[in-house]
Structures are given as C-alpha cells and as structure tokens.
Amino acid sequence: MSNSQELLDAIDKVADEFLNEVVEYNKKQNEKQKYIVRYGLALVCICLVLIVVRMLSGNPYGIALYVYGSDQEINNSEIVIQSGRIKTDGSIEGGVLQLYIVGKEVETIRFSCKNQWISFIDYTEKRSNYGWSKNFSVYYGNDINEYRNLVIAWEPLDTVKELHRNKYTDFSEMDEEFRTDLIVMQVVFLDGKKKDVAVYIKIDDNGEIKAYFSPYEVNEKDSFVLREDISSPYRTDYWWATHYDGQGEMTLPDKKEFNDLSEEQFGNIMDAAEKYYDKIHRKIISVKRVYEDRYSETEKEYGYSKEEVIFLQVEVEGSEGIPRFIAIGSKDGWQNCVVLNEGY
C-alpha cells in the first residue's frame, strides 16, 4: 500500500470518529435542550401561579384598586399615594386621592366614608354623578372597560377646614379623625355573591397620603356604613341662568375686576368654570379674580402663556369658607375657554 493510500485511510478513519462524536454530542445537546424547555415551562407555570395567588391575596375576590391618573395599585401593603400631598397651610399639591376598580361581573358597589367626604364622576357619562357626600351606590355592570372611567374621589374637606382654622406645624398634632379615614366598599356581583372590602387612608406627619386595601367585615358599630345613601344626585340647575334672573344665590363678582373683558368674554370664562363644577354637581357661591402670579408648569405644559390664562378664586357649595382656585385658558380671546387646573 502506498503512503498516500495509508494517509487517505487514516483521514477517513478520523473523519468517521469525528462525525460519530458530533452526532453523540448533538444528541446530548438535544436532550439538554428538552430538559431546559421542560423545566423552563414548569418554572413559568409556578411563577404564574404565584402571581395569581399574590393578586388574589392583595385584591380580595378578584377586585383590584388603582389610583386614577397614575394607575398606581393599592393592595394590602401600605403605600404612599404619588398623586399629591396636603400642606399644613391647607393647600394641596397635585390631586389627593382618586380611585377606580379593575374586576369583572360587578353589579353595584356601595361606598361609605367614615370621616371625610367622597364624590363620584362617571367619565362615560352614562350614570349620575354624585357631589361631596358620605354614602352612595354606583352601578358597574357587564362592560368591564367602563370600570376605569368610574372614579371615586376622596375629599379631605374637614381636614382642610381645620388647617385653615388652626395653625399646625405637622399633622401629628391633629386629632385622629382629621388624619385617618376609612372607605368601606360593599360589593355585589352579578351572580349575587357579596364581598365587603375597605380602603384605609392615613395622612402622614409630612402630609403624604398613605393607603392600603383589605377585606372588611361590617358590624353594628359601623354607624357610618349604616347611614342612608343620598337619595339622588346633587342638583344640576344651571347657576348661570338663575344668576341673571335675580333668583340665584351666587355672590356677584366686582365688575372692576373684569373691566378688561367684555360681558361675553366674562360669560364664557364663567361658563367654563360652571361646567367644571357641574360635573360633581356643586354650585359656585362666590367668585373673584386673582391677580397674584399663580402661573405654573401645569399651564405651561398645556401650551398656554400667562396672557392666555385667568385665575379665579371661588367658593363652592359643600366647602364653604375654603377658597379654591381655578385656572382657565383661552387661545382665541376668551371665546372658547378650558379649565387647565383646579385645587385648593
């Protein structure tokens, strides 16, 4: 046999051994991949089970509670509400607390507030809105996509009034009724099942709002839950119409404060303010123009310059004695007006 033939035979032998090793290696790799996939899927299933258990433990009976505007979830662990805080001078940074639920097959929820006040706005405009009250019921129904547009607002009006009446350096000096609150939610599902849950609310020493969500058992001592619901939404009569026929209860603003505007322009501005408060069925009791510089990043973000914004100080039904401020903007010389900001 020639040397070249011996070399070729040797190469063939090595090649066969190499191919066999590759085949064996691939078999082992395939087996490993099968195990990885199998155990990976099992791990994913375990994780999903844990997530479901966590959701059900934090959101009793499959109902979840969120902060409107930020979509921050309130569960059974106390959290700081990121939407705003209260100051000791009675002013409020941002919004305090607005809530919506996520769930399914909810028929009605009855809301009862222990110490402060609550209101309800349906942004689908299919239900009656409720102004500041203590107890009312809301119909939810089959369309779960509407739930996030059914908003419950917690209004600490009594706390704000107390802060205006007395001086406090921090909230630890206030009585507990001004610092803590409880909203009980009595849920009735479409299948007839019922579940009581509650939102526990606390104002921290620095004015931050904290809250958590938990099951609740109503008892005979819960007099605030046993109160009757308001029989109907608050009155929706148009104060603008009653204002000019001399029958309204609104205190007229000083005309000198608006002498740079025509009657039509002033009417458009007030019409925008009225429509804002009409959503929660509250009448404007008094109004005056604010000349101090209250222009902020909020108005700027909406694209309005200082010259395109007017600030009003108003007093509204249900929070008498507490000044509220509303920013109204216009891009066309006060023909079309929009509310840009509102609060204490």
Task: Kindly report, residue by residue over 71-110, the tens digit of the pLDDT.
Answer: 999 999 999 998 788 999 888 887 779 999 999 899 999 9
Q: Residue 3: its pLDDT value, please? A: 46
Statement: the pTM of the whole predicted model exceeds 0.85: no
Q: Worst-scoring range by mean pLDDT, 185-194, 243-252, 309-318?
A: 243-252
For the chain, the domains span 1-58, 61-226, 239-343
**DSSP H helices in the chain:** 3-58, 157-165, 176-179, 223-226, 239-244, 263-278, 297-301
Q: State the Cα–Cα distance between residues 185 and 195, nearest whole angstrom.
A: 8
Q: Could you tell me whether strands 97-102 and 324-330 are parallel, antiparallel, or unpaired per DSSP bridges?
A: unpaired
Query: In percent, how much of the chain has pLDDT > 90?
Result: 38
Q: State the Cα–Cα distance between residues 281 and 237, nearest whole angstrom.
A: 9
Q: How confident is the model at residue 248 (pLDDT cuts 50, 70, 90)?
A: very low
**Amino acid letter, 77:** S
For range 55-65, the mean pLDDT = 61
Residue 188 belongs to what H/E stretch? strand 180-189
CB-based contacts of 46, cutoff 8 Å, min separation 6: none
| pLDDT reading at 256 higher than 80 | no
Q: Residue 243: its pLDDT value, please? A: 41
Average pLDDT of the chain to the nearest whole number: 79
Q: Beta partners for 338?
A: 329
Dump pLDDT digits (tens) for 133-187. 899 999 999 999 999 999 999 989 889 888 888 889 989 999 999 999 999 999 9
Dump pLDDT digits (tens) for 198-230. 999 999 999 999 999 999 999 989 999 988 887
Q: State the Cα–Cα distance between residues 161 and 315, nearest whole angstrom.
A: 13
Higher pLDDT, 51 or 141: 141
Q: State the Cα–Cα distance between residues 288 and 140, nearest whole angstrom.
A: 39
Eight-class DSSP state of 32: H
Q: State the Cα–Cα distance between residues 211 and 158, nearest whole angstrom.
A: 18
Eight-class DSSP state of 78: -
Beta-carbon neighbour count of residue 268 at 10 Å?
Answer: 19
Higher pLDDT, 47 or 235: 47
Dump pLDDT digits (tens) for 4-37. 455 445 445 544 554 455 456 555 555 555 555 4
Distance from the Cα of residue 15 to its chain's centroid: 71
Q: Residue 234: its pLDDT value, please? A: 43
Calculate the alpha carbon distances from 107 to 1, 104, 186, 272 in Å.
95, 9, 11, 34
For residue 241 the two structure tokens come to: 């119409």
Region class of 93: left (phi > 0), else alpha (psi between -120 and 50), else beta? beta
Q: How confident is the model at residue 255 (pLDDT cuts 50, 70, 90)?
A: low
Q: How confident is the model at residue 68 (pLDDT cuts 50, 70, 90)?
A: very high
Q: Virtual CA dihedral for 14, 15, 19, 20, nearest 10 degrees? A: -40
Q: Residue 21: its pLDDT value, please? A: 59
Q: How confident is the model at residue 38 (pLDDT cuts 50, 70, 90)?
A: low
Q: Residue 285: its pLDDT value, please? A: 84
Higher pLDDT, 10 or 278: 278
Q: Residue 268: its pLDDT value, please? A: 86
Distance from the Cα of residue 168 to its chain's centroid: 28
